[in-house]
A and B are shown apart, each in its own frame.
Chain A
Amino acid sequence: DSGVTQTPKHLITATGQRVTLRCSPRSGDLSVYWYQQSLDQGLQFLIQYYNGEERAKGNILERFSAQQFPDLHSELNLSSLELGDSALYFCASSPWGQMDTDTQYFGPGTRLTVL
């Protein structure tokens, strides 16, 4: 158990809908990262937050947005869902948000299925 929690575990929805994925980082970690893992593209970095502020942005679509709240939990919002958005979405956390020194601890993931 990494200490990172994600809810829900599974999510099934229809195209065009909007969903929110939630992540609680490990106690004491200030930074949260979101990743998408699909069968055809592997693991892709989406976005990083540190202490409530966006720090780095990866391959995140404009239909997707995220935020980190004062209590440090984070939400990833996916809108206008398409079939291709079906994937595992992972959240990770790290103490200081330094990508090249911090160890990132991954949560168990949310499996999103878009029908």
Chain B
Amino acid sequence: GESVGLHLPTLSVQEGDNSIINCAYSNSASDYFIWYKQESGKGPQFIIDIRSNMDKRQGQRVTVLLNKTVKHLSLQIAATQPGDSAVYFCAEHEEWQFYFGTGTSLTVIP
């Protein structure tokens, strides 16, 4: 199977600071990437996606950066809020398959 990993299993940030969550992927043929947020007791929730022909995509308070050279994906959350506390994981799409990272637990300190 493919390897989609996360650099840090946990991340604590102060409310109002920016958060950066990283993800490494192994398959250079992957063409589409997604970041999901999963709150305790809930299903994953789509945050933002990016196609492999892009380097950066911005949403509301979130930015995804894709570095294909080093097969690295990052999620930046601006002005992190307590409601952002959750597990975040990336997913890569390749040939009718999705491969998911194990997740990073983000804790926002008030």
Which residues of chain A have a CB within 8 Å of any CB of chain B? 2, 4, 42-45, 48, 55-56, 58-59, 90, 92, 99-101, 103-109
The docked-state distance in angstroms from the alpha carbon of A20 to that of B97 is 24
Whether A59 touches B44, Cβ cut-off 8 Å, given contacts A42-B89, A44-B100, is no
| Contacting residues, chain A, for B89 (C-beta < 8 A) | 42-43
The docked-state distance in angstroms from the alpha carbon of A43 to that of B6 is 13
- Assess the A99–B43 pair: CB atoms within 8 A: no
- Assess the A42–B102 pair: CB atoms within 8 A: yes
Distance from B53 Cβ to chain A, minimum over Cβ atoms (Å): 12
**How extensive is the interface on chain B, given as a class?**
20 to 34
- Assess the A59–B1 pair: CB atoms within 8 A: yes
Whether A106 touches B97, Cβ cut-off 8 Å, given contacts A42-B89, A99-B32, is no
Nearest to A99 among chain B residues (CB) is B93
Contacting B100 at CB < 8 Å: which of A43, A48, A105, A109? A43
- Assess the A106–B44 pair: CB atoms within 8 A: yes
| Contacting residues, chain A, for B51 (C-beta < 8 A) | 100
Nearest to A108 among chain B residues (CB) is B43
The docked-state distance in angstroms from the alpha carbon of A42 to that of B31 is 21
| Contacting residues, chain B, for A103 (C-beta < 8 A) | 46, 49
The docked-state distance in angstroms from the alpha carbon of A4 to that of B46 is 14
Within 8 A of A (CB), among B60-94: 89, 91, 93
| Contacting residues, chain B, for A109 (C-beta < 8 A) | 42-43
- Assess the B44–A43 pair: CB atoms within 8 A: yes
Nearest to B41 among chain A residues (CB) is A108
